[in-house]
Amino acid sequence: MQVYLDNAATTPLDPEVFEAMKPFMLEDYGNPSSTHAHGRKVRAAIESARKKIAELLHCTPGEIIFTSGGTEADNTIINSSLQTYGIRNVISSPIEHHAVEQTLHNLEKRGLINLHMVKLDEKGHVDMDHLEVLLKENPKALVSLMHANNEVGNVMDIRRVGDLCDQYGAYFHSDTVQTVGHYRHNLSEIKVHGMAAAAHKFHGPKGVGFMFIRKDKKLQPFVHGGGQERSMRGGTENVYGIIGLAKALEIAYRDMDEHVQHIKQLKGRMIEKLKQNIPGVDFHGDSANLDKSLYTVLNVCLPESEDNGLILFNLDLQGVSASGGSACSSGAVTGSHVLGALYPGSKRGAVRFSFSKYNTVEEIDYAVEKLAALYRVEVGG
């Protein structure tokens, strides 16, 4: 049996999305910057996709800029906001995705910013009181805090952070890669200035995403070129990727309630069966709290064992695909920076299981059985 439980890394392409993309792979191949009929047809399709995304997110089409994915979007918003508004002080957290964390540390190393880290509670949630202290001490800073953590699944109160940033005149950027397509975002109500999304996190194609840049907080371009994307991102657009992105988001919103219920049931089942079958099992962050974490992510904290370093390898041999943390560093020798920040010195094992609408109860039971067997525990119930 082959079981894919690494959907926070990437999701399988929805067949409906592929069908929407196909004409732009085979037939409608014009360059959208060309003024002839072939180009105009493709340009119209891109703008239709942009309009659809804007409608779903309750913003204007001009505030949606297509990119190659979440990493480019995060890098652009961070670098361009610093340059555009002359910002020197940045407030972030030690458990951001590497697209943010490494970008900020690189800027700090080059002497371009003063980086301030907000405190986290024992579960990894942002300490809102400390955030306000930092904002008082560093008015008009850049605040870069992710909506939901990709490893432990903690969900931040993005609306409250937006209100605080608005109160102190800060530029608020949020990496929303794990939540766009899984939660409904009303950008007319959330005071975020820039955020990032990637299509492959919600059953769209890889290599395409977008950034939302609020119209009253416009940025200077980070990627220069031919003036594409309203001169905000140079380079010929990934046309069929953009078409697939918009279709994937449309499907996600259309079927969201049904899929949330289905995936929450799977996650709840895995939590209970792990507790039954692995003595001493725990869960990192707040990932076992269905109300305070991504319903798509469960980060399992396993008892100490000499074989913990081989957990993922052994699961893979049994046909179960999971992760030890962020997929972007899955081949790295060093461990997860997120778990290192939250649990310094811990010798317990970690497996991140992440779910999608395509997973089944049978797959959950199989994964638990194989994981429990690694600890020589007889699976029951």
The residues, any chain, with a CB within 8 Å of residue 371's CB and separated by 6 or more, are 274, 278, 300, 311, 315, 320, 351
Burial (Cβ within 10 Å: 0-12, 13-18, ≥19) of residue 268:
middle
| Inter-residue contact 363 to 3 (CB < 8 Å) | yes
**Secondary-structure breakdown of the chain: helix, strand, coil percentages, each rounded to the nearest 5:** 45, 15, 40
- Are 153 and 174 within 8 A, CB to CB? no
Contact assessment for residue 107 and residue 113, using Cβ atoms and an 8 Å cutoff: yes
Contacts of 315 (CB under 8 A, 6+ apart): 321, 322, 351, 367, 370, 371, 374
Task: Kindly name the residue from 59, 165, 301, 328 that is annotated as catalytic.
Answer: 328
196, 176 Cβ separation under 8 angstroms? yes
Q: How far apart are the first and last CA of the chain?
A: 20
202 φ/ψ angles, rounded to the nearest 5 degrees: -135, 50
> Is-catalytic flag, 59?
no
Catalytic residue annotation? 328
